[in-house]
Chain A
Amino acid sequence: MAAPACNATRDDRVRDTGPLTSAERRLTALLQASIDGDRHAYRRFLDELARHLRIRLRKHLRQQDADVEDLVQEVLIAVHKGLDTFRPDVPLTAWISAIVRYKLADHFRMNARRNELFEPLDEDEASASASVTAVSSLDALDARRDLDRLLATLPPRQRESIVQTRLWGRSVAETAASTGLSESAVKVGVHRGLKTLAAKIRRKAHED
Chain B
Amino acid sequence: MKTDLLIAMLADGPRAPSRAAVGRRLGGGVMFGVAAALLLLVFVVPGGIPTKALVARLSMPMFWAKLALPASMTVAALAVVSRLSQPGVPTERAWKMLCVPIALVWLAALATLADAPASLRAALVLGHTWQTCLTHIVLLSVPGLAALLTAVRGLAPTRPALAGAATGLLAGAIGALAYSLRCPEMEPPFWATWYLLGMAVPALAGALLGPRWIRW
Contact = CB atoms under 8 A, between A and B. Distances in A.
Given A76-B6, A84-B155, A187-B9, A98 B87 contact: yes
A197 interface: no
A37 B86 CA distance: 21
Q: Which bracket fits the contact residues of B?
A: 20 to 34
Contacts of A99: 87, 156, 158
Given A69-B3, A97-B88, A98-B158, A39 B17 contact: no
B180 interface: no
Given A81-B216, A82-B156, A94 B11 contact: no
Contact of A43 (B3, B7, B215): B7
Contact of A101 (B19, B86, B158, B216): B158
A39 B12 contact: yes
Nearest to B12: A187
B2 interface: yes
A95 interface: yes
A85 B7 contact: no
A87 B89 contact: yes
Nearest to A41: B11
A27 interface: no
Interface in A99-125: 99, 101-102, 106
A80 B156 contact: no
A151 interface: no
Interface in B80-132: 85-89
Interface in B56-100: 85-89
Given A43-B7, A46-B7, A76-B10, A83 B17 contact: yes
A85 B212 contact: no
Q: Which bracket fits the contact residues of A?
A: 35 or more
A204 interface: no
Interface in B146-173: 155-156, 158-159
Dominant secondary structure at the B interface: loop
A73 B8 CA distance: 12
B33 to A, nearest CB: 21
Nearest to B89: A90
Interface in B1-53: 2-4, 6-15, 17-19, 21-22
Given A50-B3, A102-B158, A85 B86 contact: yes
A97 B89 CA distance: 11
A52 to B, nearest CB: 13
B13 A191 contact: yes
Interface string A6-48: 0000000000000000000000000000010001001100110
Given A98-B87, A98-B88, A99-B87, A46 B17 contact: no
Contacts of A83: 15, 17
A96 B190 CA distance: 45
24 contacts: A42-B10, A42-B11, A43-B8, A46-B11, A69-B3, A72-B3, A78-B156, A78-B216, A81-B156, A82-B216, A83-B15, A84-B17, A84-B19, A84-B22, A85-B21, A85-B22, A85-B156, A86-B86, A95-B88, A98-B158, A99-B87, A187-B9, A187-B13, A191-B13
Top 3 closest pairs, chain A to chain B, by CB: A94-B88, A98-B87, A82-B156
Interface of B: 2-4, 6-15, 17-19, 21-22, 85-89, 155-156, 158-159, 212, 215-216
